[in-house]
Each structure stands twice: as structure tokens, then as C-alpha cells.
Structure 1
Amino acid sequence: MSKAQLGMVNKDDRNGDGDAALWARFCERFRREVGDAIYVSWFKSLELETIVDGVAYLSVPTKFLRSWIQAHYLDKLRNTIAAEIPGVRDIALELRAAMRLPGTGLAERRGLDAARDPGAVEAKRAATTGKDQLKADSAGSFGGSSLDGRFRFSTFLVGPSNQLAIAAARQVGEGSSGAGTTFNPLYFFSNVGLGKTHLIQAIAHAGMEAGRRVIYLTAEKFMYGFVAALKRQNSMAFKDSLRSIDLLVIDDVQFLQGKTIQHEFCHTLNALIDSGRQVVIAGDRSPNELENLDERVKSRFAGGLCVEIQSLDEGLRRGILDARIQSIRTAHPAFDVTANVVSMVTKLIDTNGRDLDGAVNRLLAHTILAGAPLTLEAAEAAIRDLIRVKEPKKVKIEDIQKLVATHFNVSRADILSSRRTANVVRPRQIAMYLAKTMTLRSLPEIGRRFGGRDHTTVLHAVRKIEEMASKDMGLSQELDLLKRLLGD
């Protein structure tokens, strides 16, 4: 089955008029079932890429469109296609840009084009020029993860929370090959939805445009590539493909698992950094808080520049909303959001950029589906599920250790040491007690963070402080004070 756009037949269809007729029949039936308004708004750009093993692979141009269709019409699409096109049992909806990257498109991955029309594949490869060819070459013998074309420096909104991060990212991403690696490795960390992935993909894009050899990988992709190379018994080719590049960009490093994989990852980091190549990494915590990572890997991260991206301030949230609304208006000119509604959403949703995107999507759905003006009351009802009750501050074990050390006039090194003097033992036990009661860390994890102690030592300290606090009002009040200071 060749590619066809919903509502019209592709003139380059390679499989004849029969397939085109089936697809056209499906288009007409689906238009009748959903109605012209919904069809034009949401399904006009849907395309059928191919059918493999009873699965129809569909594509759309944007993540927003994919999410909306998956949430509202996936079952209807599946049932209608199965009824109209023989042999189709299921559907898969993917992003068109990701499916058509040179050498990684859906048909190329499954070997379908080569089987059906080898000449068409060669023509497509020969037509790949400029930046697309550069991206294909940059992946080397080990293909990297797909980059989102929207994630560039020009589309990254800057505010007080990310000024240092964007400055460091630009210096690394826009430097030419061999220009030096002042910040190496460059490590970004933050909570979800604050722009880490956007920033490191912008670095990858800028590096490619500067003529550098770049590979962008998620931690999952790195693990998959390494395990696959071991199974194929060509791990040396895997290592060489990573160590022969100019810029390695790794996302979601907190998901890197397994001692063997982490060992190889550490060797790759060392090889690249020692040879003057740039490494950029993103995670959801600071290096010291990545309990699952090998100490040598964390030490390498800490040896470079670690930059935390802070929560979005109100001005930055407003900018994100304005940019998102303006982008959607290009496809939906009737989407009108008043300044009062934007101000309300800015104040009510102060978590992250993904929730802001979700809010705009809900406002758009209300406008199109309800067909009513977007009043303040209607907008508040549309985003109600995204308004979160303020959660208590996330307390870090490191913060507990520092505060307790300062409060009792000892050093953090004393608390982590093996000293058994009374002026150190009591603060250490109090810090362990607070770590158990104010964090979600397990006893073994807390023990490791307190100088590699056994979990039974932590349990003894917790029970000891609980018993003493029940009898000593002064200690109980002191613990309450420390908890308030940590929670502010």
C-alpha cells in the first residue's frame, strides 16, 4: 500500500488503482462518519505510509495532532480502516518528520522500499542533500535518536530561570569543531517540562549546522545499541562509531541501567573528553543524586559544568503560552484567546512547559468542539485537571546534612565520617532520622548517602531519635524547627 493523503489519491501510487480505490473509499466513509468540520480540522493532513503484517502505519505532521487523535479518535480510525481495507487489524500513528529522516524512515527500516522498488530508494538517497545529508552522515555507523526540528535556539524562550543554561548551551553548540571544550562534560538537570530536551537538541542542531559530527541519543537508545552490538558480536564497531564523533548528546541519563553498560558509557565519556570532543548530558537530578549510576560516571559529570534549570517564572510562562497560541493560530485562525484568559492560565498553571502546552490544547479543543466563546469561566473549566495543589518542597538528603551540620556546629564531613564522639553521633542520628521522615529514600539508600553505612545503622538511629523525642520536649521542638527550615 503506497502513501496517500486523506481525501485525495497519491499520483505516484506504485501498487495500482486497487489500493488507491480502497483508501479513497475509506476517506469518504470516514468523512461521512465524523462530519466535514471535524474532518477538515483534524484529519486533512493524516497520511497512510504503509501496511506491514496487518498494521496500517499512519502519520501526522505535529505532536499535538497525534496526541489529539490518539485521545479522541484512535479506536474509530482503527475500526473504520479495518472495515474498509482487507487484512488490516490495527493501526500505528507516528510523527511524519521522525518517520522520514534519511535512512531511518518507516519503509526503509522495514526493508519495504527495497523489496518493492529498489530504484525508488536509490533516487530518494541521491536526492538527499544539504543539511539532511549532514544529519545522515552525523549518525555514523550507529544511528542516533531522532531530533525534533522545532527544538532550536531560535525557539527557546529565555528567562531568569534558564539564562545560565542557554548561555552555556550556545557556547558549546555554536562553537566550531576543534574550537576547544571549556565546559566538558556539560550537564543540565531539572524537573520535567522545563526545557532540558529542547536545549540539548538545540545544541545538536547547532553542531550539525556548524559542520560537526554529532550523535544525539536517549539513554534507552544507548543501552539498546550496546546490547544489540554485543549480540551481533561487533561491539568494537559500536564503540568506534561513538568515539569518532565531535559532539555526543545524551538525554535522560537517569535511565541508564546495568553495570556493564555504565562501564562502557564511562569509557566512552573518558575517550571523548580526553581527546577534546564535547559531551552534553541531561538528567532529572544533579549528578550526586543519581543513585543508580556508577560513582565514576557521577564523578565525570561533576568534573564538568553542571547547570540546573529552575522553575518557570511568570513572565516566561506567559511567553510560552503566547508562542504556543500563535503557533496554533496558523492552522486554526479562529482560535481566539483573550489577554485575560492568558493571564489567568499563566497564574493558575505554574508547574512546567508541558502543562502549559496541555492547557492550550484544552482551550483549542473547547473552542473547536464546543463552538462557544472562550470566556474566563469556560477556560478555567477546560484546564481544571491541570491545576495542581501545591506540593511540599522536595527535600534533599544533602540539604538535610548541611542544615544539621550548621545547626549543631559540626561539618558535613564529620557527619559522613566514622567518628563516634558524642558531639558528632547525635547530629548524625538526627540527620538520618530527618532523611527517613522527610524523603522517600529507602534505608539502604540513606545509609549509602551517610558514608556507606549499613541500613541497620540508619534504622537504629531513627528509632533512637524517635524514642528520645518522645521523652525530651526540647529535642522534639528542635526537630520541629529543623523540619520547618527544610520545608521553607
Structure 2
Amino acid sequence: MLEADFSQDGDKPRHRDAWSQVLGRLKSDLGEEVFSCWFAGMNLEGIDGGTVVLSVPTRFLKSWIATHYRDKLTALWQAQSASVRKVEVTVRTAIRGRSDVPARLEPAGAPSTASVVPPVTASTIRFEAEPVRKEAPRQAAPQASLFDDCSSPLDGRYTFDTFVEGSANRFALAAARQVAEGPGAGGVKFNPLYLHASVGLGKTHLLQAITHQIRTGRPDLKVLYLTAEHFMYRFVHALQTQSAIAFKEALRQIDLLIIDDMQFLHGKQVQQEFCHTVNSLIDGARQVIVAADRPPVELETLDERVRSRLAGGLMVEISAPDLGLRRQIVERRIDLARQQHPAFQVPEDVIDFITRNVTTNGRDLEGAVTRLVGHNQLTGLAVTLAMAETTLRDLIRATDTRRVKIEDIQRVVAKHYNVSKQDLLSSRRTRSIVWPRQIAMFLSKALTPRSLPEIGRRFGGRDHTTVLHAVRKVEEMVGTDEVLAQEIEVLKRMLEA
């Protein structure tokens, strides 16, 4: 760790070394794609006393990073020097012309992130601002291949023919088929169509099946399938390349917009543009389909106007598969496995064992069969009930426990501490709100499979380091406070009942 006082001019090389270390940690913790999206255009302007001043090209990036990554940036800088107290993010065009920039800040010509960030390729999203081109063709060029290059990847297995129908998903399948036949043919019937379900119940399969069918049967129609994060990245990229107008116009000309994982759409400006796009498409009798892991009313991080618009269409929930559907899924997966391994056989008692004990979702059922295939092919042993019980032991144990949702935790904790759910998601920092919020975060980590970043997003878009701090603090206090330990156990029993 660097012990030097970063406020001294003689420590500029140390500044750059520390910045290099911070960038390396960001890339390692967040991944190449997220790093390239949000931090590739960030520069170190200098350090004034205990304040690190960073700059980005646009106000949107400043707002996004300050909201979602300020705590992480501060923690990483403090790991380099204890003298750092806070991190300030500013807009580069603004900081260059500011008269109040402290004299001790490094000059604009000082080395920046360009010296430590790998070259940005065509496969990543660039954030260095480019000059505005007067030539119309050059400005529109980034969107020329919108429908070929902007669409999220599709899985060739996800078609209507491979979708296993049952009582839990029959309504959703019927709605998806109807919509797939509608654009440009029978008219728009359900707009928007909103599918919601827990993980692994077939939302993505249906969205991609719609995309496949229309692209195959109606190639004249413009269909765009995107995950919410991909939509967000493309929009930010358009802002950075000075092609936002062309991007918006291209979106408004498509016949069918499909957005998956809506719960991950963040950022006020991105959400506003999404809402404008949806309104424009619906008003123009073009189809919009959205999928998420919960109903619009429970997507607390979304703007109220977006939630209202999504709730105004046909909402369809896909439930957990019943015994009959689970058996169909298992048998279909076994049939597919036999196409590659003709000698692969699964006795009826093993099929019954899987369908009775793996009850969560289709993905886990497919995973169970895949394990049996792997064990059979690698050991040469026949599939038996004893082998299945051993091979699937951890999977079955995981599905035995009732799945607790973060929304359930927020509701129970809010009621127990006599605060509102909105208080838990707000930015209020009074003791009466902060403590219940930290307990809810702790329980979310203990009782759900959600990651720290996902828990942070569910609590008003907080950084994962905030969640980690809450978890560690509650863990420490539970170890020394018997009354609190008993209180936590009561909350757990209420949630697991």
C-alpha cells in the first residue's frame, strides 16, 4: 500500500501507479465488458488533499458512476493510501474550463488512463468522445448494421418446437405464438406483452423462439432482440460516438422490439429513452415484448413511467413446473442425449426420482440429466437409482430449501422494524432506516443465491461494497449480541415458514 501523502506534487508518479492499480482491480472485479463500458474513458485529473478527482466525457457517465460505483472507487483508492477520504467524478469538458480547479491538481497533459487501458477493439464499447461529423453518412454509419450487429446472441435450440408445454406455461406459450404471428400479418394484439417468472422457467426460450420464427417466416420484418444490459450499452455507445439521434431513429423504425432481463435496465437517461422508444413503437402499432424476473410493480429501480407503461399491456406469469411438466422436460432432455449417445438409458425409477425431487425449474432438471450423461459416459457405469441419488445429492439438497426472495425479506424486515419498503430502498441514512436496511441485506445474502451486486441493485442501486459492509457488520454484531442473534433467527423463521 502506498503510504505517501497523495496531496504532494512530488508524488505524481505514485498517483499514476495507484491509478493503474485501481484500474486493474476494477477490471478484475467487474469484468472486461463492464469495465470497457463505464471506465475506459475515465481519466485521473489529480489529487487535492484527500480528494481524488476523476473525469469522464459525459454527464450521463458521471451520474451513473457516481450512483453505482463511487463507493467501490473510494474503497479501491483507500486501499492504495489511507490519506484518501473521497472520490469526486466530474465531466471532462467542464473540468478543463473550471477556474476553481486546485493548483495542486495534475495538468491536463498528464498521463491518463490511456497509458494503462488496453486498446479498445471493435468488439468493445468505446468511450473516448469523437468529433461530430458533418457528413450525414458517417454519422449514421454506426447504425447501418443495427439489426445484424446490435441484436443479442440467439441460441439455436430455443424454438417453439423445443419448448415443452404444460399447465404452468401454457398461457405464456399461447401468447408468444400469437404475437409471433401478429406483426405485419394479423396485427398487434397484445402490446406490450410482459412475461415474468423466476430463473429457469422459460422466459428467454420464448423470447428467442419468437425472434427465430419471425426472422425465418417473415424476413421482411425488422426484429430486434436485446437483453436490457445490451440495450443500455448500445445506447451509451451511441451517446459517445455522437450517433444518438441515428440510434433513436433506427429503434423507432423496427417492427418488433424484444427486451429480456428488464430488471437490469438502470440509469435515468437510459430508462427515459427506453420509455420514449416503447411509447413510439406502441403508438405506431408496432410490437413490444419484455421479460423480467418479477412484475413491473416490483421493479423498484425502474422509473415509475416505465413501470406504468409495461403494466398497461398483457402480463403473463410463468409458474414453477408441476410434476407432469417436470417429467416431460426430463424425458425430452433424455431423448436429446440419446441423439448423441444412442446407448444412454435411464430407468423409469430414476426418471421418477428426478421429477419428484428436482422441483425448482427446467434448468435444474436439464442439469440433472446432464450430470447423469456425464457420469455414464466418463465412468461407463449404467444409470441406476443409487447412482442418481449420489450424483444429484447436492442438487436435490439445494432444491429442498424453500426459495426466499429478496422482496419477501424487504417486506418482512420493513414490517418488523415499522418502516416502509421504500425507506429500505431510499438514500435516507438515519439510524432507524440504516439498521433495518443492513439487516435486510444480511438476510438477502444468507437466504438467497443472489450475488452482492444483484442485492445492491435490489436495494436502490447500491454498490456491492455497501452490501458487503452491511453483511460483515451484522455478522460481527450477531456474534457478540445474543438478543440480536435471537432477533435474526426469528426473522429467518418468518421467512422460511
**In 2, Cα distance between the equivalents of 1:178 and 1:296?**
30
What's the counterpart of residue 401 of structure 2?
391
Q: Which residue of 2 aligns with 1:336?
A: 345
Deviations 1:166-187 (A, max 9, x none): 1111111122415332311111
> Is the 1:247–1:277 Cα contact (8 Å) retained in structure 2?
yes
In structure 2, what is the Cα distance between the partners aligned to 1:241 and 1:482? 50
| Contact persistence 1:367–1:373 (CA under 8 A) | yes
- 1:391 Cα deviation (Å)? 2.9
1:193, CA displacement in angstroms?
Answer: 0.5
Shift of 1:343: 1.1
Gaps of 5+ in 1: 1-107, 111-136, 406-414, 417-431, 449-480
In structure 1, the residue matched to 2:201 is 194
2:323 to 298, 314, 317: 314
AA in 2 matched with 1:237? A
Take 1:282 and 1:446, find their aligned partners in 2: how far apart are those partners? 17
Distance (Å, rounded) in 1 between the aligned partners of 2:185 and 2:162? 27
Matches of 2:458 and 2:391 in 1, distance apart? 42
1:424-465, CA deviations, whole angstroms, 9 ceiling, x for partnerless residues? Answer: xxxxxxxx9x99999789xx99999xxxxxxxxxxxxxxxxx
**1:232 paired residue among 241, 244, 253:** 241
Q: Aligned-pair distance for 1:260?
A: 1.2
Identify the residue that residue 161 of structure 2 maps to in structure 1: 154
Q: Which residue of 1 aligns with 2:375?
A: 366
- Corresponding residue for residue 267 of structure 1: 276
Quote the residue 2:253 is aligned against: 244
Q: Which residue of 2 aligns with 1:145?
A: 152
How do 1:394-473 and structure 2 match up within 5 A?
A: 394=404
8 Å Cα contact 1:144/1:217 also seen in 2:
yes
How far apart, CA to CA, are the structure 1 residues paired with 2:492 and 2:229?
Answer: 38
* CA deviation map 1:38-88 (0-9, x unaligned): xxxxxxxxxxxxxxxxxxxxxxxxxxxxxxxxxxxxxxxxxxxxxxxxxxx
What are the residue-to-residue correspondences of 1:1-40 with 2, within 5 Å? none
> Distance between the aligned counterparts of 2:256 and 2:312, measured in 1?
18
Letter in 2 for 1:342: I
The residue identity in structure 2 corresponding to 1:182 is K
- Root-mean-square deviation (CA, aligned residues, Å) is 4.4
User: Equivalent residue for 1:34?
Assistant: none
In the alignment, which of 179, 183, 193 is matched to residue 186 of structure 2? 179
How far did 1:313 drift? 0.7
TM-score computed with the length of structure 2 as normaliser: 0.54
Q: Which amino acid aligns with 1:202?
A: A
Identity across aligned pairs (percent)? 50
Question: After superposition, what is the alpha-carbon deviation per residue over 1:368-410, rounded to whole angstroms, capped at 9, x for unaligned?
Answer: 11111211101111111211343346468699989x99xxxxx
Asked if the contact 1:187–1:305 (Cα under 8 Å) also holds between the matched residues in 2, the reply is yes
TM-score, structure 1 normalization: 0.55
Counterpart check, 1:349 vs 2:358 = yes
Q: Is 1:208 aligned with 2:215?
A: yes
1:168 aligned to 2:178?
no
Aligned partner of 2:287 in structure 1 is 278
**Whose Rg is larger?**
1
Mapped contact 2:163–2:205 kept (Cα < 8 A) = yes
The alpha carbon displacement at 1:262 in A equals 1.1
Query: Separation in 2 of the partners of 1:319 and 1:193?
Result: 15
| CA contact 2:193–2:315 (8 Å) conserved in 1 | yes
SS in 1 for 2:161: helix
Deviation at 1:208, TM superposition (A): 2.1
8 A Cα contact 1:214 1:245, kept in partner: yes
Q: How many angstroms apart in 1 are the aligned matches of 2:314 and 2:265?
A: 20
Question: 1:484 offset after TM fit, Å?
Answer: 9.1
| 3-state secondary structure, aligned to 1:140 | helix
- Contact 2:229–2:265 (CA<8 Å) still a contact in 1? yes
**Gapped regions of structure 2 (runs ≥ 5):** 1-120, 124-143, 416-420, 423-436, 446-451, 461-489
Q: Aligned partners of 1:170, 1:399: CA distance in 2, in Å?
A: 36
- CA spacing shift, 1:223–1:365, aligned 2, 3 Å: same
Query: Residue 183 of structure 2 contacts residue 255 of structure 2 at CA under 8 Å; is this kept in 1?
Result: no
Q: Does the C-alpha gap of structure 1 residues 290 and 341 become closer, same or farther in structure 2, counting only changes over 3 Å?
A: same
Q: Decide whether the 8 Å contact of 2:211 with 2:223 is kept in 1.
A: yes
The change in CA–CA distance for 1:325 and 1:138 in structure 2 (over 3 A counts) is farther
Secondary structure at 1:360 match in 2: helix
Taking a change above 3 Å as real, the CA distance of residues 178 and 334 of structure 1, as seen in their structure-2 partners, is closer
CA distance, structure 1, for counterparts of residue 180 and residue 397 of structure 2: 36
Q: Relative contact order: is structure 1 or structure 2 higher (C-alpha 8 Å, sep ≥ 6)?
A: 2
> Helix, strand or coil for the counterpart of 1:160?
coil
**C-alpha distance in 2, partners of 1:269/1:351?**
33
Confirm whether residue 289 of structure 1 aligns to residue 306 of structure 2: no
| Distance in 2, Cα, partners of 1:145 & 1:396 | 28
| d(CA) in 2 for partners of 1:340, 1:485 | 36
Question: Cα 1:396–1:219, aligned 2, differ >3 Å: closer, same or farther?
Answer: closer
Structure 1 residue 209 displacement after superposition? 3.1
Structure 1 138/306 Cα, relative in aligned 2: closer, same or farther at 3 Å? farther
> Is the 1:196–1:282 Cα contact (8 Å) retained in structure 2?
yes
**SS of structure 1 residue aligned to 2:390:** helix
Mapped contact 1:207–1:247 kept (Cα < 8 A): no
